[in-house]
Amino acid sequence: MRDREVKGLLMKYFLAVCLLFNLCIYSTVIADEENFYPWSDEKHAFMVDHATKVWSSKIFSYPTLQYPVSDPEQLYSIYNRETIPIFSYGSLLNKESASRTLSEKAMTTHRPAVSFGTKRVFDRHVPTTTRWGPMERPNDTGMLNIIQTDDLSHVVNGVVIEVDIDDLKNLLYREEGYDLVPIVVTCWIDAVDGEATPQFFVAYTFQASDEERDDIHYTNRYINPVPGYALASKKGAEQYGESFLNLWVSSTYLADKETPFALWETYPELDCRFEEGCALSITK
C-alpha cells in the first residue's frame, strides 16, 4: 500500500476516534440534561402524581383504535361533544403543515401541551420521502412516532387540537399506519406557570405499533430521521418559544429509542443501521 494511502487511512481513523471521543462527552452532557424541564422538580412531581391518578381512574374508559381505524365516530360518543382533543408531537406542530390538513376552525384551537408516560422516537418507516427533499442515505426514512412507557414521569411536549369528525378523517388519511391511542395531557401554559394548578385530561394521539397492521410493519429501529421532515418538525416546535423547543429536542430520540435526537443534529453521520444501536460510521 502506498504511503499516501496509509496516511489517508490513518487520518480517517484518527478523525473517527476524535469524533467518537466528542460523542462520548456529548452523550454525558445530554444524559445530565435529560431530566431538565422548564418547571421545578416539585411541580414535576405534582404533575406526575395527578397525571397518574387520571391515568388509573379514566384511561381504561377510552379504547385504542387500531389502524386502519374503521369507526372513529365512537370517540365522539365517549366525549359527548362534537370535537375531541388530538395530541400531536411532530409535523403538526408546524402550523403551516397542519393547516394543509385541518380546517380553519380546528386551527384556532391549536395550543401547546404536555403528555405523560410517553417518549418521542424517529422509528416510523415511510417508503417515500420525496416531499421532504433528498435523502442522504438509503435508510433516511424515519418519521416521528410516540411510544407509551410504564413511567408517567416521561413527558413529551406537543400541541392539542380540537377536531370534529371531518378533521379527524383527514388526519387518519394523513397519518397512515398509526393507531389512535389515549394518553393523559395538560396544557403547556399551566405546566410552565409556577402559580397555576394544571388540569389533566385524556386526549388521543397517533402511535405506530411495533406489531403488524394489515400485514405491514410500520416501524423500524434501523432507520435515520428524514432530514427535511425533522427540520420541519423542529421548526414547528420553535414557534412556541425557547423552553418549548429545548424540551422538544431533549425528549426526542432516534429509532433505537435510546440515542438522543440532539446527537444526530450535532453528528449527522450517526447511523441507526447497526444491531447494537445508532452509532457513527466512517463509511457511507
Q: What is the tens place of the pLDDT at every residue in 56-102? A: 999 999 999 999 999 999 999 999 999 999 999 998 998 888 999 99
- Under the banding of pLDDT at 50, 70 and 90, the label for residue 2 is low
pLDDT of residue 3: 56
CA distances from residue 268 to 17, 61, 71, 262 in whole angstroms, order as listed = 16, 43, 41, 10
Q: Please report, for residues 78, 83, 175, 242, 243, the alpha-carbon distance to residue 203 in angstroms, rounded to integers and kept in the order given.
A: 12, 11, 16, 25, 23
Rounded CA gap, 164 and 162, in Å? 7
pLDDT of residue 5 exceeding 60: no
Q: What is the pLDDT of residue 266?
A: 94
Quick one: pLDDT at residue 134?
81
Q: In the predicted model, is pLDDT for residue 284 greater than 90?
A: no
> Cα-flanking dihedrals φ and ψ of residue 189, to 5°?
-60, -35
Q: What is the distance between the alpha carbons of residues 258 and 224, in angstroms, rounded to a whole number?
A: 13
pLDDT digits (tens, 9 = 90+) for 109-154: 999 999 999 999 999 999 888 888 888 899 999 999 999 998 999 9
The reported pLDDT for the residue numbered 4 is: 54
Over 80: is that where the pLDDT of 18 sits?
Answer: no
Q: What structural domains does the chain harbor?
A: 34-280 (3.10.490.10)
pLDDT at 128: 85
pLDDT attached to residue 14: 39
- How big is the chain, counted in residues? 284
**C-alpha torsion sign, points 121, 127, 129, 134:** positive
Q: Directed axis angle between helix 227-238 and helix 242-250, to 10°?
A: 140
What cell does 1 get? 500500500
Q: How far apart are CA 42 and CA 52, in angstroms?
A: 15
| pLDDT above 70: percentage of residues in the chain | 86
The Cα 247–Cα 83 span in angstroms is: 28
Q: What is the pLDDT of residues 192-235, one digit of tens each?
A: 998 999 999 999 999 999 999 999 999 999 999 999 999 999 99
